[in-house]
Structures are given as C-alpha cells and as structure tokens.
Structure 1
Amino acid sequence: MLTLFIAVAAGLIAKLPFFEIMGIMILSILIGMIWKNTLQVNPGYQEGIQFSSKVLLRAGIILLGFRLNLLDIVAAGYAVLVTDVLVIAFTMTFILLLGKVFKLDKHLSMLIAAGTAICGAAAIIAVAPIIKNKQEHTAIAVSCIAILGTVGALIYIFLFPHLPISKYEYGVLTGATLHELAHVVAAAVPGGAESSEAAVIVKLGRVLLLIPVALLISFVINRKELTEKGLKGLPIPWFIFGFLFASFINTLNFIPDSVVTYILLVSTYLLAMGMAGLGLNVNYKDFSKEGIKPVGVAVVGFIGLLALAPLILYIFRMI
C-alpha cells in the first residue's frame, strides 16, 4: 500500500509541466528515496517493499511487452535494426571501458551501460538480478540515468529549431540516443507527428533488443558458474521471455486497443510501485560511498553516444 501510494502520488506529479519529462517511474524512486531518508519506515513494511521491488517490478516489465508491435519495427526496415544494434554495442562497450578507467564497481558500470544503451530504468531492472548486484547499485544507476535523460531531453527540445536536419531525422536521433521512453516522447514533440513516430519506432527497437542483450550479459557475467555447473549455473531472466511473449500477443492484434491501453496503465503502475520499493531501500550514504564516479561515467558515456549522431543519420540516409 505504501508503494502504491507513492506510485499514485508520482503519477499525479508527472502530469505537471517539466515533471512529465521525468515520468512516473523516475519520480517514484526519487520519492521513495526521500521518504526513506526523511520519514521513518515501519520495519513491518519491509516484506511488502521487497515484494514490490522484485515481483511487481518484473510483472511490470512483462506487461510492458504489450507496448511493442513487432511488425511495426519490421516495417521500419533494416535501418532501425542496424542503428539500434550499433547504438547498444558501442554504448555498452564504451561505458564498461569508462567504468574501468574511473575504477567504478563493474556491476554498477554494467547497470549504467544497460540503462544508457537500451531503455533506461527498465533495462537496469532487467539486468540487475542477472549480475547479482547490490540493490543500492540499482537505485544509483536508475537515478543517474533519470537525471541525465531529463537533462538530455531538455537540451534536445532547446536545440531542435537550430539543428540542420529534418523532422524525421530529429526523431531518429531522439529515439536512438535518449534513455527512457518518456524522455524520447517528450523530446520528439517539437518535431510533430513525423518526428514522434520515428522516435518511438527507433526507441522500441532498442527495447526489443533488451532480450538478447540480457541473455548475452548473463552468459558473460556468469561464465564461471556456467563452466562449473553447466546451464543450471546460468541465471536466466525468465520474465524477459514473458516480455517477448506479451509483445508477440500484441503483434497478433486480436486484443482490442482499449484493453491494451489498460494493460499498459497497469504495467506503468506496477513498475512505479517497484521503483518506489527500490527507493525505500536506499540510504543517502550509499551514494556517498560511490562518490561522483557513477555520474561521471554516465555523463561521459552519454556524450560518447551523442558522438554517434552523424553515423546514425548516415545509416538512415543510405539504407
């Protein structure tokens, strides 16, 4: 009930100007963190908080699959797939290397890399149980991505009138480089319907690639367990397959749009409750332990991703 209360409050705040860019999930984790560190949380709530941050969070990711129509991505052509694979491969590699340079915890680096490269908080949540990281690392990664993505969306909106590119190309860049779907949608608005459609398609292509990337990360991170125990030692994120199944059902298009809209609303609030649960488990001292390094890795990683912009536009012009 506490995480639901926070999620509902975040949903109301997210309707206000500026805060709509941040979105309900980001606001939920921030409110949860503030609540944890300013108000007393009843120890008896801990079981429910854990349930929200684990079970409900994964249920939300499964239902999030109903946002994807696989045929829309296929119809968009090879350019979307090539761009999204390039973005994810480059960004993941670049940020993991940055993590070594900054001497950042490798698990935290992986979460920041996944959040930047794929789909923000949802990617971080999906990858976290695979790499068996500390829960506070999840919250730190989500917070870094949330703030950076919000700032990035505001910069995009400001720069749009001055960029020497078409509305369609602006949408492509927005979908290929911003973190959260909420950031992408908000930043694409100045370009109108043409920009918004391109942005969402490219972004959803990145979301779809969460499935193979999560499995690849599981294989790489858990090589030792795989060698010793075989496939039994490999953590399989089964809820990711639930996400894929939901996408497949939505692609068949036999569920009415009104029902899909309701399912996505439920997904949003389940994810928000899970985020609130994460926030309620975080102490500010957890952030002070890591210092400025996570922010530095996230910022430089995002700048590196933006450097791909000319290549991304070239791909869309040539394919």
Structure 2
Amino acid sequence: MLKAFTQHPQAVGETYFEHLGQASSFAGSMAMGAICCFLHGLFPFAFQTSGSRRIRDLHERMVTHRTAQKAKAAAPAWVPGLVLAVGLTLAASLVAKWLNAPVAPFALVAGFLVAAPLAGRLDLAPGLKIAERPLLRAGVALLGLRIALGDIAGLGAQTLLLVLGCVALTLALGSGIGRLFGLPKGFSVLSASATAICGASAAMAVASVLPKGPEAERQTGYVVAVVATLSTLAMLAYPAVAHFAGLPPQAAAVFLGASIHDVAQVAGAGYSVSPQVGDLAVTVKLVRVSLLALVVAAVAWSFASAAREGQKGEGRGPGRALLFPGFVIAFFALAGARTAGFVPEAILPAATFASNMLIGAGVVAVGAKTSLSGLRSMGWRPLAALACQTALLCGLAFAAASFSLP
C-alpha cells in the first residue's frame, strides 16, 4: 500500500512530499493559465501569450528538467577552508581566554601550524579567501560597537588631544622609520598603523586595503606576529615603568592606554595596577581604536591615488579609488548606533566575541599562507623598524601622561 504512494515520486527523484509540492505548483500554474485563456477568449486583446507561455514553462519544468537524472548535491568549494578557519579560531579563542590574552597571535600560530600543512593536501583556498576578506572586514566593522563617544568625551579635551597627538605622530614618524630602514611603503604604513592603533586588528584591517600579493601576505603575517609579541612584553613591562616613574593613577592610565597595542593587553596592564586605572586605560585605548576606520580609509585613498597616477602615466585611464570601503562605513554606523544608545549593553559581549572570531578567522587565513622560511628571509630590518615604532609610541605616551599631570 505504501509503495503506491512512493513508487512514482522515486521514479522522478523526489520524496512523497517533494512530489506533492511540485504537483501542487503545477496545478496552480495550470489553474492560472486556464483563467488567462478564458479571459483571452472574452477579451481577445488581453493575455495573448499567457496561455502558451505557461505551457512552455510547464513543459520545461515537468519534462525537460524534472525527469532528468538529478546529480548529487556537492558541498560548496568554500566549505572546507571556512570550517577549518572557524574551528581553529574557536580553539585559539579558548586558549586566549584561558591565558587572558588576545586571540590574534594564537590564531596566527594555528594557521601556521595546522592550516598551512593541510592547505598543501586539501583545496582550502576558497574558504580561506572568504575568511581573509568578507569575514575579516565584518569583524573590523563590529569593532565600532566598542566605541561610545560619550565615554571618550568624558576623558576631557586635554587628554583627548594628547592621545590623538600620540597616534598622529606615531603614524607619521613610524612610517618614516620604516622607510629609513629601507622597507617598502606598504610595510611601513602597515607596521605604523598596527603600532599606533590596535595591534593585530589594525594590521589586518589596513592589509585588507593594501595591494595584494604573496609579499603583502607575508608582511601581514610578520607584523601580526611581531606586534603581538611586543604588545605582550609591553603589558608586562609598562606597569612597572609607570610605578618606578611615580605616575599617579590618571597619568598611569593615560600612559598604558596610549602605548600598549591591543585592547585586551591594555586591560591586563591597567587592572594589574588597580580597577580605576584599568577602566580609564581601556577608555583611553578606545580613543585609538575609534581612529581605525579613518586610518583605513586614508590608506585606501593613498594607495588608490598612487594607482590612479600610475595608470595615467601608462595611458590606461583614471581608474577607480575606493575612498570609503563598505566595512569602514559600517564601523562608523555601528559606533554611531552605540553612541546614540540604540545598542543594548547586553549584546556587547556577544558582539566582541563575534568580532574576535571573525578577525581571528582572517588571521588564520594569513597564517596558512605564512612559512617560517619566508619570515626568516625578511631579515632584521622589519623587526628593528617595529621595535623602534613601539619605542617611539612608548616615549610619546609617557610624555603625554607626564603632561596630563595636574
């Protein structure tokens, strides 16, 4: 008895309910066709092709395609790489939470040790490409939810100007330091941005608008690895510097928030001094984070303008400049929504976790393209440049903290 209900649907490659749905859609289409034909008979000027068109469409759906052998659905090509990137990022986030550290360095190591060997055996490139581009950019956009301009304004005009001055000088002088060491413009801007703004997150965001290529990917992995190491050292050393220099709590918070690369490590350093210093240091740090979108837009404009000039010189036309990438606009929009009070406080921890996961997946993709021999081949100059840029920011932040004393 049951076979009578399933034999014919199986013959056309469908279950009973799939067959019921298809037959019902055919019935509805034929009913509409019948109505159109009837109305056409009453009013010959109307629905002149509706009936014949439905007959052709029904034949295509019912005979040509429906009775053809159905191929087994295959998983999209991007699934393996994306699943691996997300899985490794989740593992990295668990380790980072256990050690109270940022996710990015552990994601980079996971990509280097696990994803890179697997990429030589499996086709992971489509999924890793998604992790490196749209997922990364979505994670950077979510950083905007950390920005509440009201909290930042509470620091006062003097502190804000001092922190902005530290960032601007680090970007300008840090880029110059990179060029003095004979490094290319892209690496100099990338390392200065990572030092001045927010470490690995800034490095990944800026790298997403720089010209692409194997060399750029190697440089991005190098900057993420070195900045994470220097930031960890700063988290351990800078509270002692503030203590031995006799900085009062507010000045110590300005120093720590304006000098350490990553938000998590600013929090670690600040709260190791006191809860008051930790809260204020994180707020100071968010001033630097709030400038991320502007820096990314400026870098995108700078390199797009250089590309346009090169195209003009070659007679290829003006080209297109992406002044404000979509994720930069989303960053500003989310920051505005948070400032206006449209974002409930309860969702902020989930948004922070999602941002870390998305950026971490992009870092895994970068790590998968990084080799130890490639990093060694870069020599001592990039390391020296990053160390000098970090020392520059430390000196500027200490001066700003000393100047902010009452």
- Compute the TM-score of the two structures, normalised by the length of structure 2: 0.73
Identity %: 26
Alpha-carbon separation, structure 2, partners of 1:40 and 1:219: 33
Distance in 2 separating the partners of 1:281 and 1:115: 20
CA distance in structure 2 between the aligned counterparts of 1:96 and 1:146, rounded to whole angstroms: 19
User: What is the one-letter code of the residue matched to 1:75?
Assistant: G
Q: Which residue of 2 aligns with 1:104?
A: 183
Gaps of 5+ in 2: 1-82
Taking the aligned partners of 2:392 and 2:108, their CA distance within structure 1 comes to 27
Aligned equivalent of 2:372:
284
Query: Are the equivalent residues in 1 in contact too, given 2:204–2:363 (CA < 8 A)?
Result: no
Paired residue for 2:342, among 254, 275, 286? 254
Q: Distance in 2 between matches of 1:235 and 1:291?
A: 34
Does the Cα contact within 8 Å between 1:167 and 1:194 map onto a contact in 2? yes
2:399 corresponds to which letter in structure 1? L
Residue 355 of structure 2 is aligned to residue 267 of structure 1: yes
Q: Does 1:145 align with 2:227?
A: yes
Asked whether the equivalents of residues 231 and 265 of structure 2 are also in contact (C-alpha less than 8 Å), the reply is yes
Could you tell me which of 120, 125, 132 is aligned with 2:199?
Answer: 120
Give the secondary-structure state (helix, strand or coil) at the position aligned to 1:59: helix
- The question of whether the paired residues in 2 share the 8 Å contact of 1:144 and 1:294 is answered with no
Question: 2:396 and 2:384 mapped to 1: Cα distance?
Answer: 19
Which residue of 276, 289, 299 maps to 1:207? 289
The offset of 1:314, in angstroms, is: 4.1
Q: Is the Cα–Cα contact under 8 Å of residues 136 and 286 in structure 1 kept in the other structure?
A: yes
Counterpart of 1:197?
Answer: 279
Say if 1:231 and 1:166 are closer, same or farther in 2 by CA, change over 3 A: farther
* CA distance, structure 2, for counterparts of residue 126 and residue 238 of structure 1: 12
Shift of 1:61: 0.9
8 Å Cα contact 1:130/1:235 also seen in 2: no
Instruction: Tell me: CA distance 1:230–1:176, structure 2 relative to 1, closer, same or farther (3 Å).
Output: farther
User: 1:20 matched to which residue of 2?
Assistant: 100
Contact (CA 8 Å) 2:119, 2:125: kept in 1 or not? no
The CA distance in 2 between the partners of 1:311 and 1:149, in whole Å, is 19
- 1:88 aligns with 167
CA contact (8 A) 1:114 1:124 kept: yes
3-state SS of 1:131 partner: coil
The answer to whether the aligner puts 1:62 opposite 2:138 as a matched pair is: no
Residues 102, 293 of structure 1: 8 Å contact kept: yes
| 1:67 positional shift | 1.0
Contact preservation (8 Å) 2:298, 2:323: no
Q: 1:181–1:98: structure 2 CA closer, same or farther, 3 Å change rule?
A: same
Flag as ranges the 4+ runs of structure 1 deviating above 4 A.
36-41, 226-231
Amino acid at match of 1:220: S
Provide structure 1 residue ranges, at least 5 long, that are not aligned to the other structure. none
Letter in 2 for 1:267: S
Number of corresponding residues = 315
Q: Aligned AA for 1:287?
A: L
| Bigger mean CA deviation after superposition, 177-186 or 78-87 | 78-87
CA shift for structure 1 position 160: 4.5
- When residues 161 and 88 of structure 1 are mapped into structure 2, their CA distance, relative to the original with a 3 A threshold, is closer
Q: Assess if the C-alpha contact under 8 Å between 1:176 and 1:202 holds in 2.
A: yes
Question: Which of 289, 301, 309 is 1:219 aligned to?
Answer: 301
Name the CA distance, whole Å, in 2 between partners of 1:7 and 1:225.
Answer: 34
| Counterpart position of 1:171 | 253
Q: 1:307 to 1:157 in 2, by over 3 A?
A: closer
Identify the residue that residue 71 of structure 2 maps to in structure 1: none
**Partner Cα separation in structure 2 for residue 274 and residue 131 of structure 1:** 15
Which structure dedicates a bigger proportion of its chain to helix? 1
Pairwise CA distance, 1:231: 8.2
Q: 1:37·1:284 contact (CA, 8 Å) conserved in 2?
A: no
Deviation at 1:137, TM superposition (A): 1.5
In the TM superposition, what whole-angstrom CA distance separates every residue of 1:221-275 from its partner, at most 9, and x where no partner exists?
A: 3333455466833453221111111111111223322122222221221111121
Larger Rg computed on CA atoms: 2
Higher relative contact order (CA 8 A, sep 6+): 1
Match of 2:74 in 1: none
CA 1:86/1:47 → structure 2, altered by over 3 Å: closer, same or farther? same
Q: Which residue of 2 aligns with 1:31?
A: 110
- Partners of 1:224 and 1:10 in 2: CA distance: 38
Secondary structure of 1:198's aligned partner: helix
Structure 1 38/44 Cα, relative in aligned 2: closer, same or farther at 3 Å?
closer
